[in-house]
Structure 1
Amino acid sequence: MGVAVKMAMLLAAGLGKRLRPITDSVPKPLVPVAGRTMLDRSLDIVEEAGIRRAVVNIHYLGDQVVAHCERRGHPDVMISDESDKILETGGGVVKALPMLGPEPFALLNADTFWYEWGRPNLPAMIERFDPKRMDILLMLCPLADTTGHPGGTDFFMDSDGRLRRATDKSHPDGLLYAGATIYNPTIFHGASAEPHSLNVYYDRAIADGRLFGHLMSDAHWFTVGTPDALPLAERKLAELGATSRD
């Protein structure tokens, strides 16, 4: 159990429509939260996990994302350009596969992040990922450990860590997808770089008993989907004692 994850991908191509008017001139991943962009917060997590290379996909105001990544020293960032056509989450990953390589890789949302004060969660996920049993390992959290999420939960997890969809999204045992995943790239064999959702692969893995969850620990998860969510996130970070570099 445990693999050497050397690559990460950050999904940064979204339009950020719900965050307008903030995103009229700035792509959502570059919106600062308590003095640090959401993209940098996710890249910090990747860097601190010891992953030295990352792929960032771009579409809306992509030149700003490229320029921002060029100013950052680590990790080494490669760009997957979707300027001509946004490919959604699944198509974006498939397009980037030649850069990600044949080994398991990490995937993070560039417009959500988490603040942690205990053992880092991404290295714990990497250590736990077992390609013999798992196609996908998702980081999950209870709703109580989130700020800015307006909806319900996504999955139920059994005692072995296997996941199934949460049909009752208000059930107290439900867990929310927390924006980080480890993938075995073999599951994308034969897929095309056309617009589609990663949910396709979740459902296949559920059917095969190969979708697993990692419960986030000693951490709080943030999503900033609307302008009203921004001050909520900054207030919670201050409450947690986070600095601008955190």
Structure 2
Amino acid sequence: MSRPATAMLLAAGRGERMRPLTDSCPKPLLKVQGKALMHWQLEALQRGGCEQVVVNTDWLAEQIVQANHPPGLALRYSHEGHDFGGALETAGGIVRALPQLDEVFWVLAADVFTPGFEFNQHAVERFTASDKLAHLWLVPNPAHNPGGDFGLQMMADGPALALNLNKGDPRPRFTFSTIGLYRRALFEAPWCAIAPGNPQGVKAPLAPLLRHAMDQGRVSAELYTGPWTDVGTPQRLAELNT
């Protein structure tokens, strides 16, 4: 058997806000500066030492499978649309792909443009040596998410903690970049109630799992200030290609 994958690329979204561009082309294959969005991410993973990547699919999955992907990468697929008739959301999709993933693995979205982000092995080793279930990269809030997602608390004796801030908490929030390192345990009992491998195709978001783990001090985080764009609208795509 081949080695477990060390990364999962989320590519199952329909891209409704990107229509009509995504009516005939899956969002991960839309091009930024002449290169498919997902290829920016795959090449960055490869530079960081990842050789095995799981890609989940739904809309126009055959185009993703048949695309001319960067050479040297072993891509595997979790065909949520084929198996269950639609995407399983982030947590549901990760649990479905978990049998193909390593004990520690990266997760990132195929539709986020981060040309300078480094998926380095030092970050993996640091996270593996910790007791955390996830390590997230947060970014300054973009115009489309001014309220942010999670707080950040600096620690004197270790990595900063991600905070699940209650409504009305005055501490600043930052936006989740979609890039994170995870331990398999977060997607298994007792943290996650979905059966191993998600045989029933349960749809489940990731945020509740993360917030629960944050409340137990089990999620670390850091702020990334390099170029980052959530390519969620045709206008943002056009701006990147200007």
Question: Could you state the TM-score of these two structures normalised by the residue count of structure 1?
Answer: 0.82
Counterpart residue number, 1:113 = 113
CA contact 1:9–1:54 (8 Å) conserved in 2: yes
**CA distance 1:167–1:7, change in 2 (3 Å):** same
Alignment of 1:78-157 (within 5 A): 78-83=76-81, 84-101=85-102, 103-116=103-116, 120=118, 122-123=120-121, 125-130=123-128, 132-143=130-141, 150-152=144-146, 153-157=148-152
Counterpart residue number, 1:52 = 51
Counterpart residue number, 2:209 = 201
**CA distance 1:76–1:150, change in 2 (3 Å):** same
Unpaired runs of 5+ residues, structure 2, are none
- The alpha-carbon deviation at position 215 of structure 1 amounts to 1.8
Unpaired runs of 5+ residues, structure 1, are 236-246
- The alpha-carbon deviation at position 173 of structure 1 amounts to 3.4
Counterpart residue number, 2:231 = 224
Separation (CA, whole Å) in 2 of partners of 1:169 and 1:53: 42
CA contact 2:107–2:179 (8 Å) conserved in 1: yes
- The alpha-carbon deviation at position 122 of structure 1 amounts to 4.5
SS in 2 for 1:96: helix
Alignment of 1:179-218 (within 5 A): 179-190=178-189, 191-192=194-195, 193=198, 194-217=202-225
The letter of the residue matching 2:144 is P
Question: Could you state the TM-score of these two structures normalised by the residue count of structure 2?
Answer: 0.83
- Quick one: percent identity of the two aligned structures? 30
The letter of the residue matching 2:220 is F
The letter of the residue matching 1:105 is F
SS in 1 for 2:234: coil
Across the aligned residues of Structure 1 and Structure 2, the Cα RMSD in angstroms comes to 2.3
Larger displacement relative to structure 2 (205-214 or 48-57): 205-214
CA contact 1:113–1:179 (8 Å) conserved in 2: no
SS in 1 for 2:114: strand
CA contact 2:78–2:97 (8 Å) conserved in 1: yes
- The alpha-carbon deviation at position 185 of structure 1 amounts to 0.3
